[in-house]
Structure 1
Amino acid sequence: MGKLSGIRVVDLSQFLPGPMMSVMMADQGAEVIKIEPPQGDPAREQAPFSSYNGEEHSVWFANLNRGKKSVVLDLKSDEGKARLRELIADADVFVEGFRPGVMKRLGFDYGNVKTIKPDIVYCSISAFGQQGDLAHHPAHDMAVQALAGFLAVNDGADGAPVVPGAASADLASGLTALSGVLMALIGRDRTGEGAYIDCAMFDSLLPWCAHTAGSAIAGGPSPVSQSQRSLGGAGFYQVYQTSDGKHVALGGREVKFAKNLLTTLDRLDLLPLAEAPAGEQGELIAFLAQVFATKTRSQWVEWFADKDVAFAPVLNFREALDEPHIAERGLLVEAEGGGNHIAPAIRFLGEEWTPGCVPKKGEHHS
């Protein structure tokens, strides 16, 4: 039993945003019926693969679709459409992630679905929303980040943007869609009315720049990374290379952290620079870069162990997942039948969580 037990979700989404949203619902006990086309969700074919419950599955697919039921439907056929209508009749939530207009052509836009289930909570996830000049423009995560201004500040010291390490627009829309659906379900309990949610990746990501794009939001020029506190212009929010070619990070700009470290390094004279505007801390950054280059990453980890400074080694995923913290928090879970899952970030005190089975394509028939 979970917080969402008794909620039925019909999910037509694929790849990342929609499946991420619905797996969080499945993790909390919702019955998620994953509607797949005859060829299956393309994420099923994304390497690498691992054995889950005795079957080979994409690790990506397994972690975003565990605990769901897989039903294969050809929505271009009368039979497939009839079966989908049957599933909708008993559903609480309907999720789709196609380009705007596709669901209308198939006969399952909000207006039509509402005639089948009047109190349905219907969520559309798209790159740019259902209306506007960009509505039909094809885009995955990075193109959305580029158009929203985020990629411009995902840059190095040379100012050239690089491919981001996290699909932030995809993930922001998954979280936003979940929030919208849960709000709508709470509202439905009070009013008896369903809702339509037009969740755009672009719209979902944009609020995430409030702390960095202030000058542009206020109507002025765009921020430049090297003059921003959170984007590379501050000594105590910075990445430094160590003597063995690895890296460490200082991740807290508070004066107390700067004072603690600079006192230990006998350079308290540089404290005013730590308080100076971002972009004016060059001498401080240069000093810290020189200091960090004198020891290996592991030596710095040991050195910082007893110091109250927001410090962290820069780990790769293998190193990060092997950290004791992961085990202590139970964040990497092996399923009973084999296969690793990243645990849900939302867990409740006193409630056990175990990963649901990864569905084979069409396992639950139509």
Structure 2
Amino acid sequence: MSRPLEGIKVVEVAMWAFVPSAGAVLADLGADVIKVEPPTGDPIRGLVTGGLGETNGLNFMFEIFNRGKRSITLDLKLEGALDVLHKLLADADVFLTNLLPAARRSMSIDVDAITARHPNLIYAVGSGQGAHGPDAEKGGYDNISFWARCGIASAVTPAGQPYPVGMPGGAFGDGLSGAIFAGGIAAAIAQRAMTGKASVVDASLLATGMWAMQPGIVGSSLAGLEEMPKPGRLVLPNPLVNTYRTSDGRFVSLCMLQGQRYWPGLCVAIGRPDLATDPRFEKEPDRVANISACVAVLDEVFATGTLSEWRDRLATQDGQWDVVQKVGELASDESALANRFIQDVDYGDGRSLKMVSVPVQFDREAVTPQRGPELGADSDGVLTSLGYSDDEILDLKIAGIVF
């Protein structure tokens, strides 16, 4: 399958997860992404997440956000390194970075310096809080700029909890922000192809978090509130949009927004057709007026069967529902497997790693992810392609510019 960004060259000077995840999406879509790393490597190579560091010789956090890239080591703090970078950029389409503004200025790789020399280059920069305002020079990570600052942590924390709930996993906001960033870069590539204009593309963790939280932001602003109410499961306006516990300690989630349409069928499926004509619950206003009683009855009913039993019974009615799964179950989810939303990446030496596919498909086919690069694995090959001789490459290594 041909991939839509084949022929596009991206030079990435970035670290950790947010901006590299955008590069991973572009690489999956066919772009040649050359990752420029310092001699010590992207620090995410040594990151321990969830108690897991390098397992079976693979650091999964580095791999998932750097799959399909090529790696060259280049110490941009040394004299002579910038010449190599400019040769890399001479025929590149995109320069992708998340270095802080002060660092980019000190290395002469800020927007003005790069675009002055490469006017046809798309300059894409990811930040914590955006390119303007009092925090433009400040760094950020997804657990603060995306999760905490955007109100997500507060919104998902139940009332009365002593501390805000943390993110559900490492780089949770980074991956989402990177995917959106990649979409913006692809739009800039299309714009340049149609108009000749090369844009500066900005994305930030704060902007992505606000995009995700916009119903709460807009709603609370209209109502003059600090945040939207947290009603709790016993006072929701629709008992058919709720989560219920099964007898084996699992949960099913109902999301039947058209409550009146699905209520009679649900009552039959759960073995309580009498509830459909119970005067407390028969009509939508009745269920709203008696919401606590209705949820309590449904709690009792769902507690009588196992998750497996409820899968079968709920499948007999037309309302929308699903299982509250644990992340480890996604590797065997039938729909995920049928659509190749998760794939085994073969490292060619007996090792493999399950990776989640980029969340778009072309011609009804999933894009196949590739392995991430070893540190500096492509340095010699990339430099040779730029016209450097073996002796010149050796000189760069002796000078410490290339590792």
Q: Which moved more, 1:305-314 or 1:159-168?
A: 159-168
Change (3 A) 1:210 1:37: same
Residues 58-87 of structure 1 show CA distances to partners (whole Å, capped at 9, x for unaligned) of 122222212110011111111322211211
Q: 2: CA distance between counterparts of 1:271 and 1:45?
A: 58
Matched, 1:156 2:158: yes
In the alignment, residue 158 of structure 2 is paired with which amino acid? G
Shift of 1:4: 0.6
1:186 maps to a residue whose letter is A
- Equivalenced residues, count: 360
**Closer/same/farther in 2, CA of residues 286 and 67 from structure 1, 3 Å limit:** same
Letter of the 1:149 partner, please give it. G
Report the secondary structure of 2:175's partner residue: helix
The answer (yes or no) to whether the contact 1:333–1:343 under 8 Å persists in 2 is yes
In structure 2, distance between residues paired with 1:314 and 1:350 = 27
| Residue identity opposite 1:148 in structure 2 | C
Deviates more, 1:136-145 or 1:24-33: 136-145
> How far off its partner does 1:132 sit?
1.3
Q: Which residue pairs with 2:117 in the alignment? A: 116
Show the counterpart of 1:210.
Answer: 214
The 2-side partners of 1:57 and 1:133 are apart by: 39
Name 2:23's counterpart in structure 1.
22
Is 1:312 the counterpart of 2:322? The answer is yes
- Greater shift, 203-212 or 125-134, is seen at 203-212
In structure 2, distance between residues paired with 1:165 and 1:303: 30
Name structure 2 gaps, 5 residues minimum: 380-401
Question: Comparing 165-174 with 242-251, which one deviates more in the overlay?
Answer: 165-174
Q: Which sits farther off after the overlay, 312-321 or 220-229?
A: 220-229
Deviates more, 1:309-318 or 1:159-168: 159-168
**Alignment correspondent of 2:388:** none
Cα 1:260–1:10 shift into 2, 3 Å = same
Instruction: Look up the equivalent residue of 1:220 and give its one-letter code.
Output: G
Give the Cα–Cα distance (whole angstroms) in 2 for the partners of residues 25 and 100 of structure 1.
Answer: 23
SS in 2 for 1:198: strand
Q: Does 1:170 align with 2:184?
A: no
1:226-272 residue CA offsets vs partner (Å, 9 max, x unmatched): 2799x966422222222222222113322223342135422123253
> Paired residue for 2:331, among 312, 321, 328?
321
The 3 A distance-change label for structure 1 pair 316 and 303 is same
Q: Which amino acid aligns with 2:377?
A: E
Q: CA deviation at 1:125?
A: 0.6
Question: Counterpart in 1 of 2:229?
Answer: 224
Equivalent residue number for residue 254 of structure 1: 258
Is 1:184 equivalent to 2:195 in the alignment?
Answer: no
Residues 250-306 of structure 1: per-residue CA shift (max 9 Å, x gap) = 1332222334213542212325357866x9733322222222222222221222222
Moved more, 137-146 or 63-72: 137-146
Instruction: Assess if the C-alpha contact under 8 Å between 1:212 and 1:228 holds in 2.
Output: no
Structure 1 residue identity aligned to 2:358: P
Contact 1:100–1:129, Cα closer than 8 Å, also in 2: no
Specify the alignment match of 2:394 in structure 1. Answer: none
Q: SS at 2:27's partner residue?
A: helix
- Alignment-mate amino acid for residue 299 of structure 1: E
Q: How far did 1:103 drift?
A: 0.9
- In 1, the alpha carbon distance for the partners of 2:222 and 2:370 equals 47
- Return closer, same or farther for 1:12/1:259 CA change in 2, 3 Å cut-off: farther
- Check conservation: 1:44, 1:57, Cα contact below 8 A: no
Determine which structure has more spread, i.e. the larger CA radius of gyration. 2
State how far apart, in whole Å, the 2-side matches of 1:361 and 1:233 are: 54
CA deviations on 1:34-67 (whole Å, 9 max, x unpaired) are 111111122222335455xxxx221222222121
Distance verdict in 2 for CA 1:137–1:292, change over 3 Å? farther
The letter of the residue matching 2:119 is P
**What value does the CA root-mean-square deviation take over the aligned residues?**
2.7
Provide the TM-score with structure 2 as the length reference. Answer: 0.81
CA deviations on 1:118-141 (whole Å, 9 max, x unpaired) are 011111111101221223444321
| Aligned-residue offset at 1:97 | 1.2
**Counterparts of 1:12 and 1:275 in 2: how far apart (Å)?**
59
Is 2:136 the partner of 1:135? yes
1:103 alignment partner, SS class: helix
Q: CA deviation at 1:358?
A: 2.2
Change (3 A) 1:312 1:34: same
Aligned partner of 2:197: which letter?
E
Query: How far 1:158 moved relative to its partner?
Result: 4.3
Code of the residue aligned with 1:310 in structure 2: it is Q
Compared with structure 1, are the counterparts of its residues 48 and 316 closer, same or farther at alpha carbon in structure 2 (3 Å cutoff)? farther
- Contact 1:125-1:199 at 8 Å conserved across structures: yes
**One-letter code aligned to 1:207:** W
Q: Match of 2:157, as an amino acid?
A: D
Greater CA deviation, 102-111 or 36-45?
A: 36-45
Structure 1 CA distance for aligned equivalents of residues 36 and 263 of structure 2 = 53
Equivalent residues in 2 for 1:65-84 (5 A)? Answer: 65-84=66-85
Distance (Å, rounded) in 1 between the aligned partners of 2:137 and 2:302:
49
Contact 2:339 2:366 in 1 (8 A): no
